[in-house]
Every structure is written in structure tokens, then in C-alpha cells.
Chain A
Amino acid sequence: MIHARNLPFVTTLAIFVIAYGLCVLQFPNMLSTRVIGNLLTDNAFLGIAAVGMTFVILSGGIDLSVGSVIAFTSVFVAVMIGSFGVHPLTAFLAALVISTLFGCLMGAMIRYLLIPPFVVTLAGMFLARGAAYLVSTQSVPITHEFIDTMLGFYIRFPGGGRLTLLAMVMLVVFAVGIVVASRTRFGANVYAIGGNIQSAELMGVPVGATTIRIYALSGFLSGLAGIVYTLYTSSGYSLATVGVELDAIAAVVIGGTLLTGGVGLIAGTFVGILLQGLIQTYIVFDGTLSSWWTKIVIGILLFVFIVLQRTIIWYSDRRLAVRQLKEV
């Protein structure tokens, strides 16, 4: 018997497997390792950002600044390398430090000024986008030997597919995220805060430190996603990645994480990302469908999963009530 809490995740996994099966029936070529390799590489930056978003949503918050932070990091890294001739590793380190501090600051505002996360990260979104415009409003290309060797590094699958460095980074982030969420004290605290912040505080969970760490983690991962995006496009552009936070939130919800916080799995987000990537790949394979169908299908999927979540909550509440009645 599957636990009701894990039902959304199992449903998503089943939908993904069935959808992939149907796609393969129509286009047998979609079963190649090339398609899978590209699926992972194309969605690497989104996946990394979505891991941070999962932690934030698990704690009952939301982070709208993700897309802007990615844009800022990418343009910052590109200008550092392209215009100032800084070594890529130094630029990456600086970008990660800035984005982590930015996340810390937002977490502190949420915790100590008691402003809702939605509003704080909205202001953060404007600030990061504005900072990106300040750095440069033009698309900045980057060429550096070190980056070329980074992009040239990949593991070859049988069948011609490539597991690129970018995809590897995403997979590592997901693996670490799963361990942190399920096996560490920090992860348990995140779930506790998302379940009920007052109970968590009374139980002695360090709510302040954990909140700041959650948003710092989201900032760090957004920064990392920005670096991956820069490598992926070999350029930095301040107008890029508008609305990526919505894609990330959609992936988290489709992956079965409850938006009220406290329930969800990092692995679910991974399947959510794959499902979004699959829709895009299918549209490319089909050739007659237009790109706007991606948005509509993701909207429909969001709707289906949210209604599913509501039904599960309603059902488990009712079962709990029935049990309590019986005990009485």
C-alpha cells in the first residue's frame, strides 16, 4: 500500500513513464540515449534552481527571485571573464558568494521583519534584475580556454548520447539535495517548519537560523544555476531567464510537493523537470505543434496535480476524522 503522502509522487512517476512510452510508440527515435542526454543538459539550470525551490516550498515559503538571480549571475560572470579577464573559477566563486549573501538577506527580512516571503522575494526579483541591467544591458559572449575544456568534458553513453558536465552538476545537486532533505537535521527542520511553524518553534527547532539557511541555499543554487546557464549559452544576458521561477515552481508542484509546505520529495521535483522536458522534446519531434502548447500543457498538468493534492488532503482529513469518531 502506497502512503497517501507519496501518492502525488507515484502518480507523477507513472504519468512520466506512460507519457514517455506513448512518445516512443509514436517516434521510436525518442528512446535513444541522445534524446535523454539532451533532455538532461537542456534542463540542467532549471533542475538546479528547482532543488532550491523545493526546499523553500517545503518550508512553506516561496522564492520569486530565482529567474532574476540566474540572469544576474550569468551577466556578472560573463562581464567578469569577458571584460575584466578574471579566471572563470574566481568569477564563479564571487558569483556564488554574492547570490548566497543575497538569499541570506532575504531570509533575514522574512524572519526578522515578518514580511511575507512572497513580497520579500518579489522585491528581491526587482533588485536582482535591476542589478543585472546595471552590469550590462547587452548580451555578453564569453570565450575562455578553461570554459571550452569544461564544455568539452562528457561521458559517452552507448548509442551516441552524451552526459555533459552540466547534466552531471544537476544530477549531483539532486543527489545531495535528496540526502540533505531526508538524512540531515537541517532537512528535518525544514519539514518541521513547513508542517507547522509554531509547533516547530515550541519543539526547539531553530526557526530563525533555518529560515535564513533555506533562502541562502535557494540563493546559492540559483547562482549555481546561473553559472550553468552561462556555460550552456556561452554568454550572459540580463534579459534572459524571465519567468524561470514559474517553471521551477511548476516542476516542484507537479513533482508532488504540497504548496502549503511540510510534504514532498526532492526526487519528485526531478521527475517534474523530466516531464516538462519531455513535453518540449515531444513538440520538437512532432514539428507541427507550436511552442505555446508547452505553456498550455504545463498549465493543465498544474491544474490536475493541484486538484489531486486537494482530493488527497480532503480524503486523509476525512479518514482522520472517522478514526477519531470511532475512538470516541
Chain B
Amino acid sequence: MNWFTRRLRRLAPQLAALAIILGVISLVAPGFLTVSVQNGRLYGSLIDILVRAAPVALLTVGMTLVIATRGIDLSIGAVIAICGAVAATLISEGYPLPVVIAVSLGVGIACGLWNGVLVAVLDIQPIIATLILMVAGRGIAQLITEGVILTFNDDTFSALGSGALAGIPIPIYLWIGTALAIGLLIRRTALGFLIEATGINRRAASLAGVRARFLLFSAYAISGLCAAIAGMIVTADIRGADANNAGLWLELDAILAVVVGGTSLNGGRFSITASLIGALIIQSINTGILVSGFPPEFNLIIKAGIIIVVLTLQSPAIVTVFGFIKATRRGDKLNHGAKEATR
């Protein structure tokens, strides 16, 4: 029980923000919260949020781990484009589905390992190291698709993006399943703890016997793997690979989701659940603006406004001020109590 209340307290701001945003949208757009069953499949805006959030949510899982090691991965948008291009090429050449999925995941992990080499072995700042693949990645993706939007017609593969199983769309299974698997792997073993140690002070962790280099490698590899799954969902959804626009700026959405989730960009303590709620918040804003009939031009500026408010509230300066007020209040109480006692 103690564990549960602690978790709840950690997630409270994010859950409250999500509830407020959903509440405001349902006030503006009646019928927003209804979920109906048609043709044996769930429909409704809430389901739509869960489906549309799949790519960002997947990226967020990997990004949380990378940020926990005090890094950042800017390349995942480009990795989405590369993996999507690989999957679409293989599918249109008639390879069986398991091969296509395995190769795409392998390419994603390879991209992650490349970033890992730059960060862990060559000691390059993560933001710069991943910038290389961010710039070159879209070029590579265009090289694979030979500059065209590669379309394909394969119902089993496109089911990854638009199919449903037992009434629930498949992307929802994919992102929740991946998050659960990685979350359990990280939190049921000492991995998460060691990643936090590496993020807080890599040198101290290494001296204490933590294999920081291996952990950095695995964090970036997981990030690449998550981007590969997201890339397949995006490609399967539109039945085509668009090297220029697939996953464009999704890395920034993922970083924002992590920041909104309360994980510090300076590394250290992280919460995958909180980051995922952050991803849902961002997607709710996107869907909410569409549903409530605002012109889509407002989308970015409303998003930016909300993000700036959240960032300001979470910023070290404001946190210090709040901490100071709390401390002085407690101090007043203590002083008061002491005076009463002497009296």
C-alpha cells in the first residue's frame, strides 16, 4: 500500500494535468468521452487518442531511458523514416512478414548502437552525436526508397497500423506491450537503478563498478528498437514509406513528453509511466484541438503555451522558491512552537 501511495504521489501532477485537459475538452466538445462498439471494434475519441499516441509513446519509452543516462536522442525521427523505408521495400519485394519485422527491428537497433558508439566510446556529447544521424538519416531513408514515396499493398503488414484484435486496435497493444516489457525488464532487475546511477554521475558509477559503457549502449539500442516499432506502425498505417515526412519532429514530441512527465534532462531518476502519461497529454491536446473545432493553425501555439507553463512550473528556479517558502513556513511553525513552550 505504501508503495502504491508513493507511486500515486509521484504521478499526481501528470494525472491531474491529463484529467484537467480531458475535462476541458469534454466541456467544449460534447460526446468526446463516449466510446462505442461498431463492427466488433471500439470507436471514440478516447480510443483515437490511445491509437494516435502509439508512435510518440513508443519513442517516449526509449527516450526516457536515454535521458535518464543524461543523454538525449535526436535521431529517432530519422530512424523511423529509415525503418519505415526498409519495411516498405522488403514488403513490396514480397518477403514474408516475420523477416520484414526482424530486419526492420535489427536496423533500428543498429542505428541505436551507432549512437551508442559515438556517445559511450568516442565520448561525444549526446546531442551532437545523435545530430549526425538526424541530419544524415533522412538522406539514407531517401536512398533506400530511391526518392519516391514507396507504397505497398499488404493487408497483414498494414494490420500493424490499422487492424484490431478483440475489438482493440493493434497499435495500442504494441505500445502498451513494449512499455510493459521494457518497464518490467528495467524495474524488476537492477538495470533501472544502475542507469540512474550512470546518469547522476557517470564517473562515480564507473568507479563503483557499474558498467556504464554497456548501459549507455543498451539505452541507445532500446531507443532505436522503440523507434523501429514506431516506424513500422507509421508505415503500416499509411501503407507507404515517406522518407521526408515520416516521424518528422516526433523526437521533439518525445522529449517534451519526458519533460512533462517530470524526468529531469540532467539525468538520474526517471519514471516511464509518468513519461507515457506525458505522451498521452500531448496527444490529448492534439486530438482535443481537432475535436473541439479550433482551426488546426492553433494547434502548435496552444501546445507551445501549455508546454511553457509546465516548464516554468517545473524549472529549478521556481522549485527553489517554492522549497524556500515551504521551509520558512515550517520554520515559523517551529519558532512559534518553541515560543509557546518557553511561555
Tell me whether A112 is interfacial, beta carbon within 8 Å.
yes
**Pair A246/B135 contact, Cβ less than 8 Å:** yes
| Distance between Cα atoms of A112 and B318 in the complex (Å) | 9
Tell me whether A208 is interfacial, beta carbon within 8 Å.
no
| Contact of A123 with B131 at beta-carbon distance under 8 Å, contacts A130-B301, A133-B297, A292-B139 already known | no
Contact indicator per residue, chain B 121-142, by CB within 8 Å of chain A (1) or not (0): 0111101110111111111101
Tell me whether A91 is interfacial, beta carbon within 8 Å.
no
| Contact of A298 with B311 at beta-carbon distance under 8 Å, contacts A123-B304, A126-B303, A130-B301 already known | no
Which residue of A has the minimal Cβ distance to B74? A246
Contact indicator per residue, chain A 121-142, by CB within 8 Å of chain B (1) or not (0): 0110111011101100100000
For B131, the chain A residues whose CB sits under 8 A away are: 246, 249-250, 302
**Pair B143/A130 contact, Cβ less than 8 Å:** no
Query: Distance in Å from the Cβ of B138 to the closest Cβ of chain A?
Result: 6
Tell me whether A260 is interfacial, beta carbon within 8 Å.
yes
Tell me whether B331 is interfacial, beta carbon within 8 Å.
no
For B143, the chain A residues whose CB sits under 8 A away are: 292, 296
For A310, the chain B residues whose CB sits under 8 A away are: 122-124
A246-263 contacts to B, CB under 8 A, are 246, 249-250, 253, 259-260
| Distance between Cα atoms of A117 and B30 in the complex (Å) | 40
**Pair A112/B317 contact, Cβ less than 8 Å:** yes
Query: Distance in Å from the Cβ of B71 to the closest Cβ of chain A?
Result: 12
Tell me whether B316 is interfacial, beta carbon within 8 Å.
yes
Which residue of A has the minimal Cβ distance to B316? A114
**Pair A290/B147 contact, Cβ less than 8 Å:** yes
Interface range on chain A (Cβ under 8 Å from partner): 35 or more
**Pair A130/B303 contact, Cβ less than 8 Å:** yes
Tell me whether A295 is interfacial, beta carbon within 8 Å.
yes
For A133, the chain B residues whose CB sits under 8 A away are: 297, 299-301
| Distance between Cα atoms of A87 and B134 in the complex (Å) | 40
**Pair B139/A296 contact, Cβ less than 8 Å:** yes
**Pair B304/A127 contact, Cβ less than 8 Å:** yes
**Pair B139/A299 contact, Cβ less than 8 Å:** yes
**Pair A302/B301 contact, Cβ less than 8 Å:** no
For A306, the chain B residues whose CB sits under 8 A away are: 118, 124, 128-129, 132
For A119, the chain B residues whose CB sits under 8 A away are: 255, 259, 265, 311
**Pair A126/B315 contact, Cβ less than 8 Å:** no
B10-68 contacts to A, CB under 8 A, are none
Q: Which of B129, B138, B256, B315 is in CB contact (< 8 Å) with A122? A: B256
Which residue of B has the minimal Cβ distance to A110? B315
**Pair B140/A259 contact, Cβ less than 8 Å:** no
For B139, the chain A residues whose CB sits under 8 A away are: 292-296, 299
For A62, the chain B residues whose CB sits under 8 A away are: 127
For B315, the chain A residues whose CB sits under 8 A away are: 113-115
For B124, the chain A residues whose CB sits under 8 A away are: 306-307, 310
**Pair A116/B265 contact, Cβ less than 8 Å:** yes
For B317, the chain A residues whose CB sits under 8 A away are: 112-114
Q: Which of A115, A293, A302 is in CB contact (< 8 Å) with B135? A: A302
Q: Which of B122, B248, B297, B311 is in CB contact (< 8 Å) with A123? A: B311
Tell me whether B238 is interfacial, beta carbon within 8 Å.
no
Tell me whether A300 is interfacial, beta carbon within 8 Å.
yes
Interface range on chain B (Cβ under 8 Å from partner): 35 or more
For B204, the chain A residues whose CB sits under 8 A away are: none
Q: Which of B128, B133, B248, B298 is in CB contact (< 8 Å) with A253? A: B128
Interface-centre pick from A109, A123, A137, A307 (highest chain B CB count, 10 A): A123
Tell me whether B252 is interfacial, beta carbon within 8 Å.
yes
Query: Distance in Å from the Cβ of B110 to the closest Cβ of chain A?
Result: 16
| Distance between Cα atoms of A137 and B296 in the complex (Å) | 10
| Contact of A296 with B297 at beta-carbon distance under 8 Å, contacts A113-B312, A123-B304, A310-B122 already known | no
**Pair B265/A131 contact, Cβ less than 8 Å:** no
| Contact of A130 with B304 at beta-carbon distance under 8 Å, contacts A118-B127, A296-B143 already known | yes
Tell me whether A153 is interfacial, beta carbon within 8 Å.
no
| Contact of A292 with B142 at beta-carbon distance under 8 Å, contacts A116-B265, A118-B127, A250-B135 already known | yes
Tell me whether B99 is interfacial, beta carbon within 8 Å.
no
**Pair A122/B308 contact, Cβ less than 8 Å:** no
B285-336 contacts to A, CB under 8 A, are 297-305, 307-308, 311-312, 315-318
For B259, the chain A residues whose CB sits under 8 A away are: 119
Tell me whether B72 is interfacial, beta carbon within 8 Å.
yes
Query: Distance in Å from the Cβ of B298 to the closest Cβ of chain A?
Result: 7
**Pair A127/B308 contact, Cβ less than 8 Å:** yes
Tell me whether A303 is interfacial, beta carbon within 8 Å.
yes
For A134, the chain B residues whose CB sits under 8 A away are: 297-298, 301
Query: Distance in Å from the Cβ of A197 to the closest Cβ of chain B?
Result: 15
A133-159 contacts to B, CB under 8 A, are 133-134, 137
| Contact of A127 with B301 at beta-carbon distance under 8 Å, contacts A62-B127, A115-B315 already known | yes
Query: Distance in Å from the Cβ of B152 to the closest Cβ of chain A?
Result: 21
| Distance between Cα atoms of A259 and B133 in the complex (Å) | 17
Contact indicator per residue, chain A 9-44, by CB within 8 Å of chain B (1) or not (0): 000000000000000000000000000000000000
| Distance between Cα atoms of A102 and B93 in the complex (Å) | 50
Q: A114-B316, A295-B135 are in contact. List 12 more A-B contacts (CB 8 A).
A: A109-B312, A115-B316, A116-B266, A246-B134, A259-B127, A292-B142, A293-B139, A295-B136, A295-B139, A295-B142, A296-B143, A299-B135
Enumerate the 6 nearest inter-chain pairs by beta-carbon distance, A residue then B residue, closest first.
A299-B136, A130-B301, A295-B139, A130-B300, A292-B142, A126-B304
17 contacts between A and B (CB under 8 A): A113-B311, A115-B311, A123-B304, A123-B308, A126-B303, A126-B304, A127-B305, A130-B300, A130-B304, A133-B301, A246-B135, A250-B131, A292-B143, A292-B147, A302-B136, A307-B124, A310-B123
